[in-house]
Amino acid sequence: MSSLLRIDDLHVNVEETPILKGVNLEIRQGEIHALMGPNGSGKSTLAFAMMGHPKYEITGGSIEIDGVNLVELDPNERARLGLFLAFQYPVTIPGVKVADFLRHAVTNVRNPDRKEGENLIPMREFRKELRSKMEELGMDIEFARRYLNDGFSGGEKKRMEILQLAMLNPKFAILDETDSGLDSDAVRVVSEGVAKLSGDQMGVLIITHHERLLEFNTPQFTHVMLAGRVVETGDASLAAELHNQGYAGVRERHPIAAAEEEKAAEHVAG
The gap between the terminal CA atoms of the chain, to the nearest Å, is 51
Query: In this predicted structure, what is the pLDDT of residue 81?
Result: 95
DSSP 42-98: SHHHHHHHHHT-TTEEEEEEEEEETTEE-TTS-HHHHHHTTEEEE-SSPPPEEEEEH
| pLDDT the model gives residue 87 | 81
Tell me the average pLDDT of the chain. Answer: 91
Residues in contact with 238: Cβ distance below 8 Å, sequence separation at least 6, in sequence order = 222, 224, 232
103 domain-assigned? no
pLDDT-based confidence at residue 270 (cuts at 50, 70, 90): low
Closest CA to 26 of 165, 171, 205: 205
CATH number where 49 lies: 3.40.50.300
- The dihedrals phi and psi of 151, each to the nearest 5 degrees, come to 75, 10
**Domain limits for position 57:** 4-89+171-269
pLDDT of 269: 56
Q: Is 181 inside a domain boundary?
A: yes
**What is the phi/psi pair of residue 180, to 5°?**
-65, 130
Domain count across the chain: 1
Confidence of residue 140 (pLDDT cuts 50, 70, 90): very high
pLDDT of residue 42: 95
3-state SS, residue 21: strand
Which residues are CB-neighbours of 256 under 8 A, at least 6 positions away?
A: none
Q: Please determine, for residue 186, whether its predicted confidence score (pLDDT) is greater than 80.
A: no
Q: Is residue 241 part of a domain?
A: yes
Q: Look at residues 17, 87, 18 and name the one whose alpha carbon lies nearest to residue 50.
A: 87
Question: Does the residue 104 lie in any domain?
Answer: no
pTM exceeds 0.95, yes or no: no
Residue 190 domain-assigned? Answer: yes
Q: How confident is the model at residue 117, as a pLDDT?
A: 60
Q: State the pLDDT at residue 182.
A: 75
Does a structural domain hold residue 204? Answer: yes
pLDDT tens per residue across span 104-131: 999 999 887 766 666 889 999 999 999 9
Percent of the chain topping pLDDT 70: 96
Residue 142 within any structural domain of the chain: no
Answer whether residue 212 is part of any domain: yes
